[in-house]
Amino acid sequence: GMLDAHTVACVVCRHAEGLVAWDSVYFVQIALEGYEYEQSRAFFPALPAAMRYAGRLMFGGPQVTRCAVILSGLVITNLAFIISAVLLEQLGIAVLGDAVVARAAAILYTFNPASVFHSGIYTEPVFAAVSFGGCLALVRGHRNVAAGLFAATCAVRSNGVLHLIHLAFDFVDATVLPGWRAGVRLWWMRDKSPRGKLSHHDW
């Protein structure tokens, strides 16, 4: 006969539980109980918070269950993985202007050996999606959006603060370098002009 909904749910939850290993254990624990232990503080709150609220949204009830947290975590990270691949391709097109190379880069990113971490409950796919989104916004000139997305990565992983390098480079490229180039150009034109050269009467 057909399996009832409860039996199916138990089977799904049992298989999902088997995917909880390594760092995933901490993310699930934080989503359920918060930061109970000192070692949990090494893991940033964005993903566990998203798992908890998504679990409530998808499965209902004020008290989110362990199975709901795990399933919501898998949905979030796998969806983020897909989004990150799409954004990487778009970023490659925007920067390189070559759709073929951009598509190849996205495919290599998708099928690299480390992509196993993008299919489990880890911060890598979420961090990648938000980071690529920030880089794409910056390339397209949407600096406020880029700054907001880069700031959001800091709630996912501690190395999100390194995105300040992107903003600093953009600032230098947009403001400092044009002024420096204009100054050099004026100096060069002045040096080459007849008035800028010293004649023998000036000695």
Question: Of 126 and 182, which is predicted with more confidence?
Answer: 126
| 127, HSE (Cβ side, Cα atoms, 13 Å) | 19
Angle at 107 between CA 160 and CA 98, to 5 degrees: 90
Alpha carbons 12 and 5: distance in angstroms, whole number: 10
Structure letter (DSSP) for residue 140: T
Burial of 60 (C-beta count, 10 Å sphere; 0-12/13-18/19+)? exposed
Q: What stretch of H or E contains 105?
A: helix 99-110
| DSSP letter assigned to residue 174 | I
pLDDT of residue 15: 86
The pTM of this model reads 0.83
Helix (H) or strand (E) holding 102: helix 99-110
**159 pLDDT tier (thresholds 50, 70, 90):** very high
- Nearest CA to 102 out of 114, 116, 88, 115 is that of 88
pLDDT category, 123, cuts 50, 70, 90?
Answer: very high
The mean pLDDT value for 4-28 works out to 82
- CB atoms closer than 10 angstroms to residue 177: 11
Q: Region 68-96: what's the mean pLDDT?
A: 96
Tokens at 105, concatenated: 């880069």
Structure tokens at 72: 């919501």
Residues 6+ apart with CB under 8 A from 202: none
- What is the maximum alpha-carbon separation in the chain? 110
